[in-house]
A = this chain, B = another copy of it.
Amino acid sequence: MSSSDLLLGLSQKALQLLQEDADKIEKLIEVQMENLTTRQCPLYEEVLDTQMYGLSREIDFAIRAELIQESAGKQIMVKLERNLAQLYEALSQSKE
């Protein structure tokens, strides 16, 4: 395997792992969105915040280790943050 193939492979694997972790958070957000009125768990926000922090540390590390581009890492976080903001808005409206 050539050096560039190896680097590409490692980079793709890193992005795939980060996307899998992001998908898990996405799933958590979806589940909570579906249960806005029926069963709100007060620990949900804390779990989501913790998972977001963990993922941001993984992404930051992957960027520093030169496995992924900064823009690719930011893209994952921005998408999640947008969905999280929607959840929090929906939560605050359902409480009104």
Contacts and interface: CB of A to CB of B under 8 A. Distances in A.
A83 B18 CA distance: 30
A61 interface: yes
A24 to B, nearest CB: 12
Contacts of A14: 61, 65
A66 interface: yes
A10 B65 contact: yes
A3 B53 CA distance: 33
A66 B11 CA distance: 11
A25 B37 CA distance: 41
A50 B50 CA distance: 9
B64 A65 contact: no
